[in-house]
Amino acid sequence: TPQIKERVSFFGMKTYYELDLLTRSYAMAQKEKIDVMHHFHSFGFFAHFFEELTGIPTVYTLHDPMPTENMFEHWMFRRFPTHKFISISDSQRGDLGEHFVGTVYNGIDIDKYAFDPVGSSEYVTVGRLIEEKGASTALEVMQRLGGKLKIATWLSDRVRASSYYRDVVLPLVRVTGSELCDFMSSDDMVKL
């Protein structure tokens, strides 16, 4: 179908784009004698092969839940047992903890967003609209507490078509798209 052809084309384009970035990055690392590369596992696992070929130590930050044994991603842990990973939480590691060298929590600029010990009834969540991120749980809690939750996310066609968004999140949301778009100025988005 045209939709499948479009997705395959996008996947191929993204694959070549990432391979190009990795080739340039590792070439620069070799030339400049960079001590360690840091790769974010957002797409593909090509950096593992570059690390093997170049010998440049690389750490990998995982942003998704740990793969189960029946997933391709789990094979990477077995294929590259000496490669080092960074988790975004200690609980993310699951039973593959021996592969991790540390945890780096997602952070914020505490000078820009100072802690308010009094608090308020308004909260913010930033992230993808997938079940694991818990937006629906946060919305349900806000309804029970009578608070407001602002959600900063990317509403792609894929997200809009997902059953989690349509059947779980959307029935809990009481704002329009324009209100969501006005949540942050474009200057704030660039600074994030």
pLDDT at residue 43 in the model? 55
**Residue-by-residue DSSP string for 106-146:** ----TTTS---SS--SEEEEES--SGGGTHHHHHHHHHHHT
Q: Which two tokens stand for residue 12?
A: 């191929």
CB-CB contact of 164 with 139 (8 Å): no
pTM for the model: 0.64
Which regions of the chain are under pLDDT 70? 41-44, 175-192
Q: Measuring CA to CA, which residue among 129, 107, 160, 63 is closest to residue 139?
A: 129
- 40, HSE (Cβ side, Cα atoms, 13 Å): 6
What does the alpha-carbon distance between residue 73 and residue 57 come to, in Å, rounded to a whole number?
20
Which SS3 state, helix, strand or coil, does residue 43 take? coil
Question: Which pairing describes strands 122-126 and 148-152: parallel, antiparallel, or unpaired?
Answer: parallel
| Tokens at 106, concatenated | 């997602």
pLDDT of residue 175: 66
Phi-psi region of 50 (alpha: psi -120 to 50; beta: other; left: phi over 0): alpha
DSSP letter at 69 equals: T
Cα-Cα-Cα-Cα dihedral sign, residues 70, 75, 76, 80: positive
